[in-house]
Structure 1
Amino acid sequence: MKYTSKRTRSALVAAAALTVVLSACSSGSNGNGGEAPASPQQSAAAETPADGKIVSAPLTLTDFVQMSGNPAPGMKTFNDMAAYQETEKLTGIHIDFQHPTVGQEKNQFNLLMSSGEYPDIIEWGWNDYPGGGVGAMNAGVIIPLNDYIDKYAPNLSKLLADNPDIRKEISTDDGRIYAFPFLRSDPYLRTYQGIGIRKDWLDAVGLPVPSTIDEWHTVLQAFKDKDPNGNGKADEIPLLIAKDTLLNFSNVFLNAWGITGRFNLQDGKVVFGPTQPQYKQFLQTMHSWYEEGLIDRDYAGTDAKQKDAKWTSDVLGASELAVGGGIGKYTTAMTAKNPNFNLVGAPYPTLNKGDKPVLGQREPIFNGVGAAITKDNKHVVETVKWLDFKYGEQGHMLFNFGIEGKSYEMVDGYPKYTDEVMKNPDGLAFATAVGKYAVPFGGPFVQDKRYQEQNASLPQQKDALNTWMDVNNDDLLPPLTLTNEESARLAAIMTDVNTYRDEMFDKFVMGAEPLDNFDKFVKTIQGMGIQEALDIEQTAYDRYLKR
């Protein structure tokens, strides 16, 4: 197999200039600066076998990790994936994968945590654990990895040495590292959602892609009144809004007012968007659009399948979309049905023409997802070496692209996915087809920009990504890790607050609740303890700034 070290090193070095936010606060830390407590269960370092494998005798490790919701046909575990099969040949280590049932991942993770008996490795989004990775270490579930990484993980060690910003972001406030991280080291990988709009409809009504709230109003009115789908019926749905996506309803249009539907920063201080005066202005706009018939009357009850049907029935003009599962999905689905179908990404709107959009969708370089080693692991050194393999050249190529000659070919130094992936003869979608060979969507390795360049290969997708990335996100709040106590209290407050916020959003937009009652809405949220939640977020953010 051939691998390209130059491009891999370039992808890793590029991460040095980026900033990401992961704050972690230690509660009851052992204060050992990352040194793992001694345990007779931990294996001593062994000499590397002459054949280059990690172990000289067969070794099996257990790994709790989620599988994709749409695995390739015949794939029951990751052991059926070519990247893992090749990794086993190269390292000598077999993995007994424990995959939670799709749709039951969190419940089964919680059951695993409550059992007190753990597999060797747990790959998880540790921000969901009470107190984050710090909480899991302090609870004795997983172990600090600093010393092991320094001694037995040369690939990750070099990456962290070359990119101190990344080391800072994957470390806790007291310097501990709790997981081998999934890293998005290129900005191109960190934005993948935004607003999609029918460009062919815009052409039909003679309007450009809107960039301000006022322009959106003009466009939506034209979509409603001028029969842009040309069927002679008034069946167009100008806009579908949603509240239950990663973007949330707030980041699609509310960003124009400089706030989100959650916590964000203003002048360096944490605020809760729905209690700000600007939120009332946003609600007034949404209510007006709804009353004018510009927003889907059934937006609140529209699920994913119904959304698919509205797009592919040629009646929907705009909605929030992902670049792959939205623009790519619907463009491909409509190719034969309507060759004129042209779905493009629109910029996040502003209030004033010429202003730079703010507060779009952007993932951090490290979002807390990583592979942790549990306290029950009896082969820590070998596990560290196995995990570190993915950060080297061979592992990087395997897990981003799969097998050279099968799932990709090197073309002028560029790993180009084959037709087996891009034009699958069995009609498999890209994510499913590539999943037979690799798992570029996530895992303990550095994601490669060249994967996304091919995943989002349509001109409309490439343009959408560039458009959605052109946002000033300085006031996005970093993902913060809280102490166990803070996490429990914040969850208790925000569960009620978010439920009430969503209920009242629908009532305000649909007119069931007059906007004259907005002050009452704010006071109700204040009575639910939002100031305490703000104090918790501000304290965690202040800790992050002091790191």
Structure 2
Amino acid sequence: MKKKMVKRLMAASMAGTLAVTMFAGCGSSSDSKDNSSAKTEDSSEDNSDKPDTWIADRTITVQAYVDDIGNTLPEDFNNTETMKKITELTGIKLDVKYTPGDSDAKVMASQLASGTIPDVIISYLDNSTRPEFPLLYKAAKDGMFADVSEYMKDSKVYSKYYEDDYLPDDTKNNIVFRDDLDGVYLWQMNIDEVDRSLEYNADDEYVGGMYIQKSIADDLGIDTREIKTQDDFYNLLVKIKEGGYKDDNGNAVYPLGPKYWGGSVDALKYIATGYDWGVSDDYNLDENGDVKHIAETDYVYDEINFVRKLLDEDLMNPEFFTMDSTRAEEVSKNHNSAIIADVHNYEEIIYSSEDWIPLGPLNDIAGDNKEVVNGKSGRGCMAISADAENPEEIFQFFDWLSTKEGQTIAQYGAEGVSYTMEDGYPRLTDEALEKLNDGDTDYMINTIGAGFGGSGNYFFEFVLTNKNNQDNFGESRPGASSGNSTFARSVQIAEDYPVEKKLVPGLDATAYMSADELADVKMQMDLLDWDETFVQACFAKTDDEVKSIVESFRDQLKAAGIDRFEEYVKNIYDEDPNTVTFYK
């Protein structure tokens, strides 16, 4: 995206967002023994007897606005095997703090508004349209963060951020190297060294979407991978109903049940894929090349009427959109749903038995069933306080942590304790693998303290960048190549039911609603709820009632100023089609 268009992404009302009442509750800390400011104890010390990786004898205080980190903090961070090895090599200790609240973004807003932060903050930030970004951007403009551009240029790993085509466009232009900032104050992490978004690696694939009871599929004699069109799917539901199948309690099954985690409209992306014209968060390009919301087109009636037919013919649980998570889990586990609308291969209900197998996926509006991917992406961000002592040491530490050596320790722990080297790759010891298979989080978090690919201390999963697990470790995550017994069936499903991928770059259209000049439109659009309106239309008794509901929503869209938003997104797309995820 060209810079002049990119900079329009500035979110509205940043200053007002910061004015959030400060939270009075105490936060948790990973190191109760040392909560002092992170200072170098003796910057003039002779380090000639230290390893080449030595940075400084100091404690770095980190404030995390990431609940996954807060939920997996070791009881004594610096006494874990992982952290003892890191301190031995670098001299660095960590005091990682997490403060619970209504939301991580609100806690961050409160603490940034106070004007004081510890040495480092880390936050969720998938892209520049996340609600955290206006808070972080304003803090950067207000001088709260240190400029790390000089450190970054000379770094071992983060220097890659300056290479052409290494960073995703949004990461590069809207977050790290902004024209309206005179340095680098905020940067994303979790950038892959190699773009493998189009590759399919069964060891690491989440196979989501619809799953059907294997016994029913076998009884009907169907190949679930051959159910590709909406007609195929409808005919299957009819056959299931005619089959008279019963659940574990002797009750008639519903051919189609809600998603495993509770009723929701978003499961429609699996059951009505061929009718989902609004491929970019309800928006797409019409035949004239204009941006439209699906509700503004007649395509919307195809999707509504398909769902109405399933409801009218009792092929779909009437609580498909509204069932709470507890009951949705229950109707899945007792086999009251012949088909779960959405679950994945790493849920226990799937990997713990042979009861369920994937169904589909159905063809989308382009006529194929490939999974849409958007290319390289980032996850999470980091900033160093402008008041931190010797910020170059802090940056050097996190840069080292993303080297191959640092990543090995961060993910696997200490060599000889939780892993050994075999043929040049780290491999978990028998004890560590057993603990991982058994889900022994106390061992993984408090004894070893490594990331274990997200199964252990999540801090070390979150703060890395330049990831390339396949080349560096020979496996997608610790233990994946050893036939991990817990998730063996998860991997087997991914091998047996591979999914092709297609690249459609860009962000969803609604990401651009955060532009400054659209603040008034966004305010009005936030008051509208298309999902609720859609469900209302699905339960309408007559076609006239459906039409009335849709036309009323169209009027509301127009009154909210949707024409201005759609023109804005069209201009962005026309300038660079790789910026919005539109496809036909």
1:186 is matched with 196
1:206 is matched with 221
Q: Distance in 1 between matches of 2:265 and 2:149?
A: 34
> Structure 1 466/412 Cα, relative in aligned 2: closer, same or farther at 3 Å?
farther
Q: Normalised by the size of structure 1, how large is the TM-score? A: 0.75
Q: Distance in 1 between matches of 2:513 and 2:146?
A: 18
The answer to whether the 8 Å contact 2:351/2:488 transfers is no
1:34 is matched with none
CA displacement at 1:488 relative to structure 2: 4.6
The answer to whether the 8 Å contact 2:247/2:253 transfers is no
> Structure 1 192/264 Cα, relative in aligned 2: closer, same or farther at 3 Å?
farther
What SS does the aligned partner of 2:215 have? Answer: helix
1:357 is matched with 369
Q: Distance in 2 between matches of 1:488 and 1:368?
A: 26
Q: Distance in 1 between matches of 2:274 and 2:361?
A: 11
1:397 is matched with 408
Q: Distance in 2 between matches of 1:191 and 1:495?
A: 34
Asked if 1:315 corresponds to 2:336, the answer is: yes
1:17 is matched with none
The answer to whether the 8 Å contact 1:251/1:361 transfers is no
Of the structure 1 ranges 437-446 and 117-126, higher mean CA displacement relative to structure 2 is found in: 437-446
Asked if 1:140 corresponds to 2:143, the answer is: yes
Q: CA RMSD in A?
A: 4.3
CA displacement at 1:331 relative to structure 2: 2.6
Asked if 1:197 corresponds to 2:227, the answer is: no
Q: Which of 218, 222, 225 is 2:235 aligned to?
A: 218
2:389 is matched with 378
Q: Distance in 1 between matches of 2:113 and 2:517?
A: 20
> Structure 1 465/211 Cα, relative in aligned 2: closer, same or farther at 3 Å?
farther
Q: Which of 304, 311, 319 is 1:283 aligned to?
A: 304
**Residue by residue, what CA displacement relative to the aligned partner does 1:1-43 show, whole Å, maximum 9, x if unpaired?**
xxxxxxxxxxxxxxxxxxxxx9665869xxxxxxxxxxxx999
Q: Distance in 2 between matches of 1:60 and 1:97?
A: 8
What SS does the aligned partner of 1:424 have? Answer: helix
1:343 is matched with 357
Gaps of 5+ in 1: 1-21, 29-40
2:450 is matched with 437
Q: Distance in 1 between matches of 2:78 and 2:525?
A: 40
Higher relative contact order (CA 8 A, sep 6+): 1
> Structure 1 237/402 Cα, relative in aligned 2: closer, same or farther at 3 Å?
farther
> Structure 1 300/478 Cα, relative in aligned 2: closer, same or farther at 3 Å?
closer
What SS does the aligned partner of 1:305 have? Answer: helix
Q: Distance in 1 between matches of 2:554 and 2:46?
A: 63
The answer to whether the 8 Å contact 2:205/2:491 transfers is no
Larger Rg computed on CA atoms: 2
Percent of residue pairs bearing the same amino acid type: 14
**Residue by residue, what CA displacement relative to the aligned partner does 1:103-135 show, whole Å, maximum 9, x if unpaired?**
632321222222221222221123322548655
1:59 is matched with 59
Q: Number of aligned residue pairs: give it.
A: 498
The answer to whether the 8 Å contact 1:407/1:420 transfers is yes
Amino acid at match of 2:303: F
Q: Distance in 1 between matches of 2:164 and 2:427?
A: 27
1:166 is matched with 167
Q: Distance in 2 between matches of 1:314 and 1:48?
A: 68
Q: Distance in 1 between matches of 2:158 and 2:99?
A: 28
**Residue by residue, what CA displacement relative to the aligned partner does 1:308-328 show, whole Å, maximum 9, x if unpaired?**
2222212223335454543xx
What SS does the aligned partner of 2:462 have? Answer: coil
Q: Distance in 1 between matches of 2:96 and 2:244?
A: 53
> Structure 1 139/294 Cα, relative in aligned 2: closer, same or farther at 3 Å?
farther
Q: Distance in 1 between matches of 2:452 and 2:45?
A: 30
Amino acid at match of 1:183: I
Asked if 1:534 corresponds to 2:553, the answer is: no
The answer to whether the 8 Å contact 2:211/2:342 transfers is no
Q: Which of 278, 282, 296 is 1:259 aligned to?
A: 278
> Structure 1 42/77 Cα, relative in aligned 2: closer, same or farther at 3 Å?
closer
Q: Distance in 1 between matches of 2:443 and 2:576?
A: 38
Asked if 1:511 corresponds to 2:540, the answer is: yes
2:15 is matched with none
> Structure 1 318/417 Cα, relative in aligned 2: closer, same or farther at 3 Å?
farther
2:526 is matched with 495
1:451 is matched with 476
What SS does the aligned partner of 1:64 have? Answer: strand
The answer to whether the 8 Å contact 1:191/1:362 transfers is no
The answer to whether the 8 Å contact 2:157/2:403 transfers is yes
Amino acid at match of 2:196: D
Q: Normalised by the size of structure 2, how large is the TM-score? A: 0.71
The answer to whether the 8 Å contact 1:77/1:99 transfers is no
Amino acid at match of 1:501: W
> Structure 1 465/361 Cα, relative in aligned 2: closer, same or farther at 3 Å?
farther
